[in-house]
Amino acid sequence: MGEFVTLQQQDLTEALENHSLTFYELPDFVYVSFEFQYITRCSQSHKILREETCMFERWAILFADLIKRINPDETDSVEVLVFGFTIIFNLLFTFLLLFITGFLLDHLFILLQVAVSFMVLRMLTGGAHLDHSLACSLTSILIILAFSFFPISSILIYTYLIIIVLLVIIYAPYYEPHQVTHSKEWEFKKKQLAYLWLALSLLFFHFFHQPGLILGALLQSLLLTPYGINFISKINILTLKGGDNHEKNS
């Protein structure tokens, strides 16, 4: 799978510091091993990550490489396959933990409502991302769990809905600097779909007395605000520092 290169840690460090070897000069998928430590290059994010901090990406590389070997001519590029598999594994892991948490707390149905609504509106309006997929899953689970316990009443639901609509109007869509932006026409259509989703969420509450879809939309709309973006940014910094400390201690 890919290309394997063996280097001593000192040689790799000196090469990078002397700019004789850059991240982008490494092949698309390279495992660089020195002593008993590994660095994996995840090409879709153009970063070098330690293997243990790139779990979903490693699985994605394995599956992408397998598919590419089976049918090299009729499949997408390895980078596209890795990106797709990473998203799939991330979602599966997140929903698995949500199912377990919801079952243990006897809170499963509303937890799934919040998660689905959050993800649907996020696809339509964008949002900040964490660099580590595992940190993304765990953070999503914690905030989804917190919002599933928000106070509920008819007045509060309509208040939440007004807040959501205003925040979507003001702040959506949000893209990270490295993300591809779409045309104004396409973004307009996505925003209309977002409003349609909010209307369906209100109907779901009205007919079935289930508030989870509104709560999930509230979560996503708050994360679109500068405070929400800053919150995700701080979590991202903490997770990256945690990874650096782990590397120093290992």
Q: Cβ distance 67 to 82 under 8 Å? A: no
pTM of the model: 0.71
Look at the chain and count its residues.
250
Mean pLDDT, residues 120-147 = 91
Sequential DSSP letters for 8-74: -HHHHHHHHHTTSS-GGGS-SSEEEEETTEEEEEETTTTEEEEGGG-HHHHHHHHHHHHHHHH-SSS
Question: 39 pLDDT band (50/70/90 cuts)?
Answer: very low
Tokens of 67: 């598919």
The 10s digit of each residue's pLDDT in 110-129 is 999 999 999 999 999 999 98
Q: Which residues pair with 120 in a beta bridge?
A: none
Average pLDDT in the chain: 78
To the nearest whole percent, how much of the chain has pLDDT over 70? Answer: 73
Question: For residue 244, what pLDDT is reported?
Answer: 54
Query: Rounded CA gap, 77 and 79, in Å?
Result: 5
Question: For residue 183, what pLDDT is reported?
Answer: 85
Q: Does residue 22 register a pLDDT over 80?
A: no
Question: For residue 233, what pLDDT is reported?
Answer: 93
Annotated domain spans of the chain:
3-56, 107-249
Candidates 2, 46, 240; CA nearest to 134 is 240
Question: 25 pLDDT band (50/70/90 cuts)?
Answer: very low
